[in-house]
Structure 1
Amino acid sequence: MRTTPALRTTPAALGALVTALLTAGALSLGGASPASATASPTHNHDVVWGTIVAPVDLKIRDAPSTSASIVAKLPADSQDRVECQTRGTNVWGNAYWYWLGGVQGWASAAYVDTGGQHVPSCATSDPCKEYKPCWDTCQGGYNRYH
């Protein structure tokens, strides 16, 4: 097989191009200030994780009420995102319920440990209004949908 000059120079040209690109990248990093060259860790403080602390599987409901339909169950020590809180049926002296974003249902705050993190109110921060019933304690119901 006959090799043309173009085929013989292609690997050399590619090698030179790669070297030039790597050198340019090193130069641009070398000229950066120390503060901008080091990436600082980022933390999403908006995400609240809750750990299930119920003695048995926790019943996740379609409304913040012990009489609402069960949509799922979560075992003890499992975790889910706590999106927001609202008031509902009182469970062991705690009237708050959390909307869990992963399982898409309500859990009594009496059985969810958030590690002391602030959970926003569903009235002011409703990240899930497209797919959950509206719970409006002022109008006394949860059967209205957005």
Structure 2
Amino acid sequence: MRTTPALRTTPAALGTLAAALLTAGALSLAGASPASAAGPPAHNHDVIWGTIVSPGDLKVRDAPSTGARIVDRLSSGSQDRVECQTRGTSVFGNPHWYWLGGAQGWASAAYIDVGGRHVPSCAVPPQDPCPQAKPCCDPCPAGCNRYH
């Protein structure tokens, strides 16, 4: 049986077309980042980590005041979650104090580097959604007892 030039080139043309489609698909997928292919990335932009920059251990207190009771100490270079800020006793001209989520207390902003991030103001302590007493680092999603 004799084949025409069109019939002889059909398998080659189909192979070329398939290769072109596969290449185009690969290029479009290569341009898409894994995050966009799987949906938006899961970043928690609310967490602010502060690095302790005090010359010695930083005293964490139960109120935003240098006269308040010490509840913890953090070593210079360590980090903690900075939840919010309020005004308190001025330390080296800085009246801001940060609530530290891990240490469960207040520390002067003069000794904590937040890398230029904006720290929100603390509202009046919210009504605790988990009122029963809980130890530090409770898995309650609302940050139970963070002001206690």
Do they fold alike, i.e. is TM over 0.5? yes
Partner letter of residue 117 of structure 1? R
TM norm structure 2: 0.61
Q: Which runs of 5+ in 1 are unaligned?
A: 1-32, 134-146
Alpha-carbon RMSD across the aligned residues, in angstroms, is 2.6
Equivalent position SS for 1:121: coil
The structure with the larger Rg is 2
Q: How many positions carry a matched residue from both structures? A: 102
Q: 1:94-133 counterparts in 2 under 5 A?
A: 94-123=94-123, 130-132=145-147
Preserved contact between residue 64 and residue 106 of structure 1 (Cα < 8 Å): yes
- Tell me, in whole angstroms, the C-alpha distance in 2 between the residues paired with 1:99 and 1:81: 8
Per-residue deviation, 1:131: 4.4
Structure ranking higher in strand proportion:
1
Residues 70-121 of structure 1: per-residue CA shift (max 9 Å, x gap): 0000000000000000000000000000000001000000000000001010
Preserved contact between residue 125 and residue 147 of structure 2 (Cα < 8 Å): no
Equivalent position SS for 1:73: strand
The residue number in structure 2 matching 1:4 is none
Preserved contact between residue 85 and residue 99 of structure 1 (Cα < 8 Å): yes
Q: Which runs of 5+ in 2 are unaligned?
A: 1-27, 127-141
Per-residue deviation, 1:42: 2.5
- Tell me, in whole angstroms, the C-alpha distance in 2 between the residues paired with 1:94 and 1:71: 21
Partner letter of residue 44 of structure 1? N
Per-residue deviation, 1:130: 3.5
Preserved contact between residue 101 and residue 146 of structure 2 (Cα < 8 Å): no
Partner letter of residue 47 of structure 2? V
The residue number in structure 2 matching 1:55 is 55
- Tell me, in whole angstroms, the C-alpha distance in 1 between the residues paired with 2:124 and 2:102: 20
